[in-house]
Amino acid sequence: EGRALQKFLGTIRNVGLAVEPPKKSLWEAIFGEGSSFIDQMPSKVFEAFDKESYYKLTDLSKRADILNEATLSLTGITKSRAKIGNLIGAEAILYIGYQKPYTECSTENKIDAVAAGLKVAGFAASMATGKEVNTGNEPVSKPTGV
């Protein structure tokens, strides 16, 4: 969301955008082997931020020469952050990575009203007639997606 990003960055407008290349093994299971979308993911992320037009973006994948020259250990980035920022022309660096998508779907048993009604009616008929009434083998509760 653009507004959430503006709140996070405050007055910063010159942003370096580092987009992690997606792991093909993870995404091929979702999009299919050889999907061209997997290779396009980093550029699509950059385009989405670029459309916001509030920020001046620097695609850090095109500035790998500068980033490789700097030592990118955690202490190297924090101690040299102003120098790295000046070299790439950015006040902040946003690092975008990917996670495996997840769903919150589950299965739970739900009572089948028709099957339960047949069981009750069969039991009542059995009591009234004195004979066992067969109502079928339908389960009273069935798994359903939630």
Do 15 and 85 lie in one domain? The reply is yes
Helix ranges, 51-112 (H): 64-69, 74-79, 81-88
Within-domain flag for 102: no
Q: At 103, is the secondary structure helix, strand, or coil?
A: coil
Q: Are residues 80 and 141 located together in one domain of the fold?
A: no
Residues 11-20 pLDDT 10s = 877 777 777 7
Query: What's the confidence (pLDDT) of residue 141?
Result: 74
61, 76, 96 - which closes a domain: 96
Q: In this structure, which amino acid lies at residue 116?
A: A
In contact, 52 and 17? CB cutoff 8 Å: no
CA distance 77 to 90: 13
Q: Is residue 46 part of a domain?
A: yes
Closest Cα to residue 80, out of 68, 88, 90, 72?
72
What is the reported pTM?
0.45
pLDDT tens digits for range 30-77: 777 777 776 777 777 777 777 766 777 777 766 655 555 554 544 555
Question: Which domain range does residue 13 map to?
Answer: 2-96
The answer as to whether 73 is a domain residue is: yes
Instruction: Give 88-130 pLDDT, tens digit per residue.
Output: 677 777 777 777 666 677 777 787 777 777 777 777 778 778 7
- Distance from C-alpha of 82 to C-alpha of 87, rounded to nearest angstrom: 9
- Same-domain pairing of 12 and 62: yes
Instruction: Name the amino acid, one letter, at 56.
Output: K
